[in-house]
Structure 1
């Protein structure tokens, strides 16, 4: 029970942090919020992991550099989507990334049903028409592609670098990429105290607190159940958008979110069954996909 409460708290912290970051969009834009968030994450991870960058080989560097680029692109695309189509819809679209990884290479009817359910959910969510914000939908799908890339790269880098060295180094790369954004905002005089406060809050609530909480949670609950429970994030995002940003969703959009959540839960359940069966080969991602915090 404590593990479930902690997972809900971690997920809520993540989405509340995203909502706080949205309050700074008007002053510094999504790119500015992402820049501050990357600086906060790097300031926390570097002293903890203390990666010896001078000893990295090229075999370790190239996936780390790609992971840093994925961090930078994923956060910017997600925050841009939040700015254009709202928190709940953006996070729901982003969750198609781990779903795609879970279903990759699958040929079962259950997995096909999950894919069809997710597709139906997305169609209901975006409601294609003349008034659709296709750029917002596109950046949400780009965030999904980045999350899928994160899962694959994280496993590769994790096998080549011990502990937290990989995410710390990749976050530092991402922070360096956003340094020109911060300099440009400072020169333009747009880095006011309130905007920085919201962005720092986003970094703490969406990166630092959930990361620390998840380390404790994974000591209490199986990784497969943790991955399954991640499916609740789109619902938490929709609630955070409603309560903190006043983003009201229609019945059809809630139905779309529910379909995507059920598809993710079904895929995670199926993956757990495959892992538990000695007669079947392991899927691409054996454990539930961890939420990228950086």
Structure 2
């Protein structure tokens, strides 16, 4: 492709993902999921110090700093439309992170991830065609009802359950927006650069709410190091891999691949957080993952 000034260039996500082009998309998703939820497990340990929403914002802020330093997107000539789409993408991503962390502060990690999958299921059902995509909504609904019912009867405080379910519902909506907007910026050939710009925009939008926690972070190097680990594991690595995969598959197929993620969330939750799932929870996870797999209409 050519840049706006007429020079030949290689798409940013293609340059970053050239070495990954021969790696099967499902394997990339396994790596993405493991790093994503290991980062989430580390983040849980910071909730008592900063609060779950603030940890989500710091994750975005530090990820933006890392990506901006790596990509230096200001060297690229941007149009107003490209910047607007990148900003919308980043704001959806930032909102998803903030409310997801609120969710996992009140619900087990595996359950929260499975419930959040309503977003990808909806994207796959809307963008796909045929009975399988429509039927997937019913299957996913069964899984969600089962998981929500188990959670309500789990002995957790009712207020925690209500807050957790509401936060994860909001995260599901944001995840759907992330997939749709992410495919658009990835298809434009500026995926990782747009990711850097978008994360910076998202961090700025939420800064008035969370910047007050800066004093707690800069005065405690240990907290800052852990936040950086969260940012790299849960944002930089998985979202860069997402941009690589999104250039190779459609939105429906991308949503199908996310069926691999609940299993990784359960494994990480069990090993790191000692959140052992019950059999009804496993059944609900299987239903949600099966619903996503049902929507497969494209090769991955």
Deviation at residue 214 of structure 1 after TM alignment: 5.8
Q: Is the Cα–Cα contact under 8 Å of residues 41 and 203 in structure 1 kept in the other structure?
A: yes
2:58 paired with 1:30: no
Q: Cα–Cα, structure 1 residues 6 and 168, in superposed 2: closer, same or farther, change >3 Å?
A: closer
Aligned to 2:123: 101
Q: Which stretch shows the higher mean deviation, 95-104 or 53-62?
A: 53-62
Aligned to 1:262: 290
Taking the aligned partners of 1:235 and 1:259, their CA distance within structure 2 comes to 12
40, 47, 70: which is aligned to 2:62?
40
2:211 paired with 1:171: no
Q: Which stretch shows the higher mean deviation, 119-128 or 228-237?
A: 228-237
What stretches of structure 1 move > 6 A for 4+ residues in a row? Answer: 215-219
Q: Is the Cα–Cα contact under 8 Å of residues 23 and 198 in structure 1 kept in the other structure?
A: no
Q: Is the Cα–Cα contact under 8 Å of residues 56 and 98 in structure 2 kept in the other structure?
A: yes
Aligned to 2:71: 49
2:169 paired with 1:147: no
156, 162, 170: which is aligned to 1:134?
162
Q: Cα–Cα, structure 1 residues 21 and 165, in superposed 2: closer, same or farther, change >3 Å?
A: same
Question: TM-score under structure 1 normalisation?
Answer: 0.79
Q: Which stretch shows the higher mean deviation, 86-95 or 98-107?
A: 98-107
Q: Secondary structure at the residue paired with 1:246?
A: coil
Q: Is the Cα–Cα contact under 8 Å of residues 231 and 264 in structure 1 kept in the other structure?
A: yes
Taking the aligned partners of 1:215 and 1:71, their CA distance within structure 2 comes to 13
Deviation at residue 193 of structure 1 after TM alignment: 3.6
Aligned to 1:244: 272
Aligned to 2:42: 20
Q: State the superposition RMSD in angstroms.
A: 3.1
2:147 paired with 1:125: yes
Aligned to 1:115: 137
Q: Which stretches in structure 2 are left out of the alignment for 5+ residues? A: 1-21
In the alignment of these two chains, the number of paired residues is 270
Aligned to 1:279: none
